[in-house]
Amino acid sequence: MMSQVLAACLMLAAQTYAVPPAVLVGIYQVEGGKVGQAVRNTNDTYDLGPMQINTVWMPELAEEWNVSEATAKRWVRDDPCTNMGVAAWILRGHIEETKSLSRAIAHYHSRTPHIGSRYKKKVVTAMQRKGLIKDSSTR
């Protein structure tokens, strides 16, 4: 279960970036990350923190925040509100790009269609298990 801090960060991020909080909960459930966690991927990138933000985002975030990539990485990995905010920002960007919440969820994980589709189904299932959605129309 999400801590009160993570829940508050999630709600703030959802409101700030105008994304459905239920989707962020679903992503959180699927990603299963923890504050301070860095998980190495097979392509030598890392997934950071609760929402498992990939380090490929660090150059853009570092430039946006006017900090070093190491600082951006530390903030995303170790600060739950920064991590949730970046996740919501990424999702918002995918929504704007694709004009589809369904495709945006898939793109959060991968732009490769069959991989993204599997991921989206996991997120929808997680939302259903939490009672956040009732039907499967977003599949």
Identify which of 14, 4, 2 has the alpha carbon closest to the alpha carbon of residue 84. Answer: 14
Q: Is the model's pTM score more than 0.85?
A: yes
Query: Per-residue pLDDT averaged across 64-76, rounded?
Result: 98
Q: Is there a domain that residue 42 lies in?
A: yes
Q: Could you tell me the residue range of the domain that residue 36 belongs to?
A: 4-129
Query: Is pLDDT at 1 greater than 50 in this prediction?
Result: no
Instruction: State residue 134's pLDDT score.
Output: 85
Q: Is there a domain that residue 138 lies in?
A: no
Query: Is pLDDT at 94 greater than 70 in this prediction?
Result: yes
Identify which of 84, 69, 96 has the alpha carbon closest to the alpha carbon of residue 15. Answer: 84
Domain of 23, CATH number, reads 1.10.530
Q: Is there a domain that residue 77 lies in?
A: yes
User: How many domains is the chain built from?
Assistant: 1
Q: Is there a domain that residue 139 lies in?
A: no
pLDDT in tens, 15-63: 999 999 999 999 999 999 999 999 999 999 999 999 999 999 999 999 9
Q: Is there a domain that residue 135 lies in?
A: no
Q: Is there a domain that residue 137 lies in?
A: no
Query: Is pLDDT at 137 greater than 70 in this prediction?
Result: no
Query: Is pLDDT at 135 greater than 80 in this prediction?
Result: no
